[in-house]
Structure 1
Amino acid sequence: MPPTRKYVSGYTKRLRKRKIKELTQSQRGALDRFIVRESHATIDENIFNEQEQDDVEELQDIENNMDECVGNAEQNENDDNENADIDHHNEDVEDVDIENHNNENVTDLFNEEPSQSIPLDIYDPRNWDNIDPKFCDLLVEEGPVRDLLIGKGPKGHLHRHFSSPFYTRYLPNGEQHDRDWLMYSKDLNNVFCFCCKLFKKGPQKSQLANEGFKDWIHLSGRLKEHERSIEHINHMSTWIDFRIRLQKNKTIDGVQNRIKKEKEHWRNLLKRLISIVKYLGKYSLAFRGSNEKIHDINNGNFMGQVEMIAEWDPVMKEHVRRMDDKETHYHYLSHKIQNELILLLAFELKSAIIKKIEEAKYFSVILDCTPDASNQEQMSLIVRCVDVSTNPIKVEEFFLEFFIVNDTTGQGLFEELQTVLQKLKLDIDNVRGQGYDNGSNMSGKYQGVQRKLLDVNPRALYTPCGCHSLNLTLCDIANSCGKAKDFFGIIKRIYTLFANSTKRWKILKDNVKHLTLKSLSVTRWESCIESVRAIRFQAADLREALLQLAESDGDSKITSEPNSLATYELGNFEFLLGMVIWYYILGAVNVVSKNLQAEDMLIDVAIDKVKGSITFFEKYRENGFTEAMCTAKEIATDMGIDPVFPENRKIRRKKTF
């Protein structure tokens, strides 16, 4: 027997239609929550994602409930309808599939990953659980958004609704107070306590601080009960205090910002003060003046630099303004701060030098002693090492410090050297060279510093100071010849004659236009070349200046001196010849001396220079006199002097026997 066609009853059809209609009504306006109001701020995308997931789960629950209702209704049908018309049933099911397809499109819209973050309304209380602190500050400052002109809200199941009179509290004495903490959500049709909802910590008993309250019949009593609760009073106090501090910018963030700005101000100020100290130290300028007050006369180079920078730099200008207005007593300009900055910079510089020495490992020491202005014996320490941090690698000298010594014997100086190296954390066993002058306490064969260091470290090769040795050689050369002594004595007399009077110096400048006379160097003989050069190339002009001085000065004692120098010294061919010879000798020695004093001097180069100077003297001894004679004759001819040597008068003694 073929199956009979079964028809669904009318009740089942009406039930199915009603369920579908309810589902459609429940989803109406679901997309409105994704529309952004222009007047509202936004919150983080994470909150939107959580809300989106809740909406998707809600739609899925509704679909499942609808399917269960429809399935139960069909299961309760009479068994006689089992063979109902299949085509008619398929048409009904097709209608349900269309609705389900629409719901799936909505779900797909929820699940679709947006190309950019979709902002939500920060004034919606549902979004306050994980609100950003910046938006929380905005809410506290602006307060809740309330529509005071609202007439009647949507009616509830008891036909009651929210109205604007609930925003006002009526006291028994007739006074009226605004409930500025009360806010109404049109979307949720609930009322909330603004401060309790925003500042709550953990679960709250009152619905006004959680999901909201919409029992309009009991709302009035619930509001009175809530505004008298301790939690509400505490939250109101927090809200009001926070709002006042935000308006006056006295929040913790505001204080932190001011502290940060103040730190930045002092940091920038110290950078400028350090730059001033570096500049003055680099050029060896004095720091302090006769006073140490800003804007005073003669307050020193340091204060002067501060005043100069304050004319255009906003940081220094603000600091000077605070000092002038007595807003601060900490100006960081005293001599103690200056000395402290000098010591800090010296420590950093010394640390950088020691780091280079440690990287090179092996080094040489150079010591020299000299009395200072306070008559204390000072010893300078210079370290010479290979600087591996540069490209290309090169040998450099670093000055480390001065230190006072009381015992100037070889043992005392060596002990002082050991103490300084230990303080600088430099191993004395890594010393590979030592260089001092030719003093007995430094270079002594048995009791000198070099001997004491060799006893401790035999690999510390000793090399005497080349410049000092060269200077001693020149001293011996000059002192061994009486003519040389007379020559340099004449140069000193000429310089002293003009330098002791401004009037005489004016006569010298009028006649000698180019090179200025220089005094003889006491410590460096090779530096005497500057004194000889000024006379060598201006002998004729200098002689005219002496003759003019002899005629203009009325003092007979002073008149005889320039006249004697012009006639018997500069007018003497022997003096001119000595001048030419010493100019060549000092010129050759000066080149060697400069090379020996160079910071990047290498020992093989120094040896070649010394050997070259020896070769120069050997050749000059053979051929130099003839060349010097030719040059001296040319100078004598230009000056109108006979190029002949003066003859010494022979004293004839009568023979008695």
Structure 2
Amino acid sequence: MEDEKLAGSLETFIVTTKKSETCVLNEDLVSECEDTEEEEFRSSYESEPITEGKETSVQEAEEGKEETNCEGRAGLEYIQRRDFGLIPFGHLTSDVRDALVSIGAENFQNSKGPFVTGSKGRKMTEAWFYRKLADGKDEVVKRTWLLYSPSKEAAYCFCCVLFSHTPQNAISKFESPEGFNCGEIWHFKEALTILAQLTQTDRKREGNFMALIRFIADFDPVLKEHLNKHTDGAKGRATYLSPVTQNEFIALLANTIREKLVADVKESKYYGVMCDSTPDISHQDQHSLVVRYVVLKEGQFVVKETFLGYMKLGGKNAEAIEEGIRNGLESFGLDFNNCSAVCFDNASVMVGKHRGIQRQLCEKKSKIVFINCNNHSLNLAGADAVKTDVGSMTFFNVLNEVFNFFSRSTERWDALKRVTAITLKSSTDTRWSSRADATHALETELNGVLESLENISSSDNFTAESRADSEALLKGILSFEFLAFLSFWTPVLRKVDIVKKRLQCPEMTFKDAHEDLEALATWLQENQDNGAQEAVTKSIELSNKWDVEIEIKRVRRKKCMPGELARDEPLTPHLDMKRKLLLAVDSLVVEVQSRSARLQEIDGRFGVLLRPQELFCKTEQEIDAVCKDMAQKYDENISPSELCQEVQDLMFLLKKTPETALELLAFIDKYGEGFANLCVALRLLLTVGISVASCERSFSKLKLIKTYLRSSMGQDGLSNLALLSIESDTLMDMNFDGIIHEFARSKARKFLM
């Protein structure tokens, strides 16, 4: 009977609260809402008064009329004072709940305060009663359930107090009689309690894993019972929590994911290989093996680059690396004959024409397409362009010294942060985007950096060494040559960085990469004169602003031959600076074009097949030439006559020409074997990788997993943990019930005969 009355009260509350609407938090609307609440409170109170002698519970009836009258007076008190903390928490009958619901939670909110400051200096504010929507800038919703009691200086939850069935040992402060103390820093206290539970333990050698397990067991009765029975003082029982079991389960998870990934590669049949190496914390070379393939996912074809693991090879020569890659693919169950393309970095052992892996693979399998990493190529092109002039190299050295000067001291770094909005960045030769970030940060915050250096050089709060270094950096920055190179390299490196980031995308094809590199070279050629002149002009303006003297270098005269009267006219500092900038641009253009020659070659041969709109605009003779060239490269997989005929047949079926090769592949896949040769050709070309960025990303995980404290980790364990981290999306889609069943089957001690 009591439950039926409680259900009726809850239904009444739900109907009442449906009237709440979203409102914008401003002074006018808040005051309007308060007036409306007061009118509703008066009308509800006058229409349904609570008498002093009203019976509230069986216990009150037994205790007598005097106690009932006292409670009635208390009921009038919490209604008149709008104080929810004065309600009879120990005697919440259905009648009391009905009365409170009829009056409404809004009349007990006290959202305007006054709020009392607690002992920790914290207090409740009006903002606590509103929740900001995630999709709106100024749109907020009022928390109608939140109430504040001025007498107890505490907060309550209206729904929790009236309708909660929480056990007494798990009751929340928002539904307890004392309420939630708004002045205490409760969340920090709970966080510190959790940390104390994780750190303060007598089992010092258990490690982080067991500490977390014991912490979770405090909220999981089944796990807690397992720990009490099998770990605490129980010897000879299987706990399945030892490091050996953990490694076995990790290996089982990794093998399951690897089998799923390899199955996808086998289903696609053709794949490309990308490989790169780096030394780990224990000074061992780790070769990252990544495969690129095309897979059908939810009705759409997508290009995937999948990490399979790290390989520890026996040597650094081409023969050892080539043998290691073959053995690694075979250990994963992949047929090397289905490998259609390889992509390596620009190390000589990889791309060498005479003794590199390129030559080793091409001799054994002539059908493989070899592409060197275009991100590395573009980075090397920029490094070579910097080396064209001593002034350019000096510029990047000073750029690094500025960052090192501030980053080596927290005091100097704080002095820099007080006058700048963007922090300085370091510049390295190996990180692809570091130089663009470094030049952009310094150009943006040049005034703040100079101000900070001047303050340090003239302040007695810093050491003499710091003041001397700051003066040296000021001289290095405040030079006409440095300011010119800064104004020149910032826009150039910004364009280069855009292309580099696009080349790291797995969906990029070799045709897209060649078009981007060609567009970069074209932009550099078209804007080299204007860019160099703008850099010189801006440098002159900055020099005048900072009173920088433009030095005129002495011209070294060469000895003239007898009878020679003409002498070379010396260049002005402005023209000489422009000459250096143009020389850097010319070097960058030449390097980009020469290092992308292999990409240009394969794009000229087969790139039109990856652009359906260009393919269908070709004449019949041009299409026939491309198809024959493609069939000649892959004569074992493609028929030239059938491929040409399929392209011709496809032209009249398409009502709208697809924009990408993946869209075209999805279209022809609906016709089954009707376009088999064209489908194979597209899948082969899409497996050609243009960057080893996926390998570089795996090295980031390597540094997080194999640290100084875990430097003795085994090779298999390292690969398994890296695979679980890198391919986490596949891990989340796995059926863990099957994995647990397989683990239990492997641990079973009894077998059916």
Task: Flag the 1:547–1:649 CA change in 2: closer, same or farther, 3 A.
Answer: farther
Task: Flag the 1:497–1:425 CA change in 2: closer, same or farther, 3 A.
Answer: same
Partner of 1:536: 443
Question: How far has the Cα of 1:323 moved from its partner?
Answer: 4.6
Is 1:314 paired with 2:221? yes
Question: How far has the Cα of 1:355 moved from its partner?
Answer: 0.5
Question: How far has the Cα of 1:416 moved from its partner?
Answer: 1.2
Q: Take 1:480 and 1:304, find their aligned partners in 2: how far apart are those partners?
A: 58
Question: How far has the Cα of 1:629 moved from its partner?
Answer: 3.8
Partner of 2:550: 645
What SS does the corresponding residue of 1:385 show, helix, strand or coil?
Answer: strand
Question: Contact 2:375–2:432 at 8 Å: present in 1 too?
Answer: no
Partner of 1:357: 265
Write the deviation string for residues 405-435 of structure 1: whole angstroms up to 9, x where unpaired. 1221111111111211221121111011001
Question: How far has the Cα of 1:399 moved from its partner?
Answer: 0.7
Is 1:599 paired with 2:499? no
Task: Flag the 1:363–1:529 CA change in 2: closer, same or farther, 3 A.
Answer: same
Question: How far has the Cα of 1:490 moved from its partner?
Answer: 0.8
Partner of 1:401: 309
Aligned amino acid, residue 556 of structure 1: A
Question: Contact 2:286–2:311 at 8 Å: present in 1 too?
Answer: yes
Listed as ranges, the matches of 1:269-280 within 5 Å are none
Question: Contact 2:348–2:356 at 8 Å: present in 1 too?
Answer: yes
Question: Contact 1:293–1:299 at 8 Å: present in 2 too?
Answer: no
Question: How far has the Cα of 1:643 moved from its partner?
Answer: 7.2
Alignment equivalent of 2:349, drawn from 441, 458, 461: 441
Q: Take 2:247 and 2:509, find their aligned partners in 1: how far apart are those partners?
A: 37
Listed as ranges, the matches of 1:230-269 within 5 Å are none
Task: Flag the 1:339–1:571 CA change in 2: closer, same or farther, 3 A.
Answer: same
Task: Flag the 1:562–1:298 CA change in 2: closer, same or farther, 3 A.
Answer: farther
What SS does the corresponding residue of 1:331 show, helix, strand or coil?
Answer: coil
Partner of 2:389: 481
The TM-score, its normalising length taken from structure 1, stands at 0.51
Write the deviation string for residues 615-639 of structure 1: whole angstroms up to 9, x where unpaired. 12112212212333454456556xx
Question: Contact 2:478–2:548 at 8 Å: present in 1 too?
Answer: no
Partner of 1:347: 255
Partner of 2:243: 335
Write the deviation string for residues 102-127 of structure 1: whole angstroms up to 9, x where unpaired. xxxxxxxxxxxxxxxxxxxxxxxxxx
Question: Contact 2:543–2:549 at 8 Å: present in 1 too?
Answer: no
Aligned amino acid, residue 621 of structure 1: Q
Q: Take 2:265 and 2:518, find their aligned partners in 1: how far apart are those partners?
A: 32
Task: Flag the 1:301–1:528 CA change in 2: closer, same or farther, 3 A.
Answer: farther
Partner of 1:563: 471
Alignment equivalent of 2:418, drawn from 481, 485, 510: 510
Write the deviation string for residues 186-237 of structure 1: whole angstroms up to 9, x where unpaired. xxxxxxxxxxxxxxxxxxxxxxxxxxxxxxxxxxxxxxxxxxxxxxxxxxxx
Listed as ranges, the matches of 1:71-110 within 5 Å are none
Alignment equivalent of 1:417, drawn from 325, 338, 358: 325
Task: Flag the 1:365–1:315 CA change in 2: closer, same or farther, 3 A.
Answer: same
Write the deviation string for residues 499-526 of structure 1: whole angstroms up to 9, x where unpaired. 22222222222222x2112222231354
Write the deviation string for residues 28-56 of structure 1: whole angstroms up to 9, x where unpaired. xxxxxxxxxxxxxxxxxxxxxxxxxxxxx
What SS does the corresponding residue of 2:227 show, helix, strand or coil?
Answer: helix
What SS does the corresponding residue of 1:511 show, helix, strand or coil?
Answer: coil
- Percent identity among equivalent residues? 31
User: Higher mean Cα deviation, 459-468 or 296-305?
Assistant: 296-305
The unaligned stretches of length 5 or more in structure 2 are 1-197, 559-753
Listed as ranges, the matches of 1:98-137 within 5 Å are none
What SS does the corresponding residue of 1:381 show, helix, strand or coil?
Answer: strand
What SS does the corresponding residue of 1:315 show, helix, strand or coil?
Answer: helix
Write the deviation string for residues 47-100 of structure 1: whole angstroms up to 9, x where unpaired. xxxxxxxxxxxxxxxxxxxxxxxxxxxxxxxxxxxxxxxxxxxxxxxxxxxxxx
Aligned amino acid, residue 565 of structure 1: L
**Higher alpha-carbon Rg:** 1
Is 1:494 paired with 2:402? yes
Q: Take 2:443 and 2:452, find their aligned partners in 1: how far apart are those partners?
A: 15
Write the deviation string for residues 440-492 of structure 1: whole angstroms up to 9, x where unpaired. 22112132212222222221110111111111111111112211111011111
Is 1:383 paired with 2:288? no
RCO higher in structure (CA 8 A, sep ≥6): 2
Listed as ranges, the matches of 1:150-229 within 5 Å are none
Q: Take 1:292 and 1:546, find their aligned partners in 2: how far apart are those partners?
A: 44
Task: Flag the 1:590–1:651 CA change in 2: closer, same or farther, 3 A.
Answer: closer
Write the deviation string for residues 507-565 of structure 1: whole angstroms up to 9, x where unpaired. 222222x2112222231354211211221111111111111111225543432221232
Q: Take 2:553 and 2:218, find their aligned partners in 1: how far apart are those partners?
A: 74
Task: Flag the 1:353–1:559 CA change in 2: closer, same or farther, 3 A.
Answer: same
Partner of 1:626: 533
Is 1:368 paired with 2:273? no
Q: Take 1:295 and 1:391, find their aligned partners in 2: how far apart are those partners?
A: 56
Partner of 2:372: 464
Aligned amino acid, residue 508 of structure 1: L
Write the deviation string for residues 153-205 of structure 1: whole angstroms up to 9, x where unpaired. xxxxxxxxxxxxxxxxxxxxxxxxxxxxxxxxxxxxxxxxxxxxxxxxxxxxx
Q: Take 2:506 and 2:205, find their aligned partners in 1: how far apart are those partners?
A: 38
Q: Take 2:228 and 2:540, find their aligned partners in 1: how far apart are those partners?
A: 73
Task: Flag the 1:499–1:456 CA change in 2: closer, same or farther, 3 A.
Answer: same
The TM-score, its normalising length taken from structure 2, stands at 0.45
Is 1:428 paired with 2:336? yes
Aligned amino acid, residue 546 of structure 2: I
Task: Flag the 1:299–1:515 CA change in 2: closer, same or farther, 3 A.
Answer: farther
Question: Contact 1:539–1:570 at 8 Å: present in 2 too?
Answer: no
